[in-house]
Amino acid sequence: MLPANLTVSMNIDYLDRSLPGEWLEADASISKMGRRLAFVSCQVHAKTRMVARASGVWLLQWRDQSVAGAAGGGTNTDSSTNGSSNSLRPI
């Protein structure tokens, strides 16, 4: 199963400028992850200065890997589906 994630919301606060050529380091973490939603936060630093922070919420929709673009697919042995696949599909 592969996640097919949809962005529910995303916010970015730019706190300071960074100089051209300055190394930026991002630290992201999952604050909370449920069955349907993932809450993520991120901080971006230039040396010791925080230059940006971001947060977002993603809707998780799970789908079968064969639906995600795998060529050929498998055979369907369930006759009750009238020829359709039993795979999970994005909502």
- Residue 60 is predicted with a pLDDT of 87
Q: Which CATH class is domain 2-64?
A: alpha beta
Q: 23 versus 61: which is more confidently predicted?
A: 23
The CA-to-CA distance between both ends of the chain, in Å, stands at: 14
Q: What is the mean pLDDT of residues 35-54?
A: 94
Lowest average pLDDT, out of 41-50, 63-72, 74-83, goes to 74-83
> Which residue is it, tokens 């940006």?
52
Q: Provide the token pair at 8.
A: 């529910």
For residue 89, pLDDT beyond 60: no
Of the two residues 79 and 22, the one the predictor is more confident about is: 22
Residue 48 DSSP code: T
State which amino acid sits at residue 9: S
Domains in the chain: boundaries: 2-64
DSSP 64-82: -GGGGT-SS------GGGT
What pLDDT score was predicted for residue 61?
Answer: 81
Give 70's Cβ-side CA count (13 Å radius): 11
What pLDDT is recorded for position 1? 53
Query: pTM for this one?
Result: 0.59
- pLDDT of residue 69 exceeding 80, the answer is no
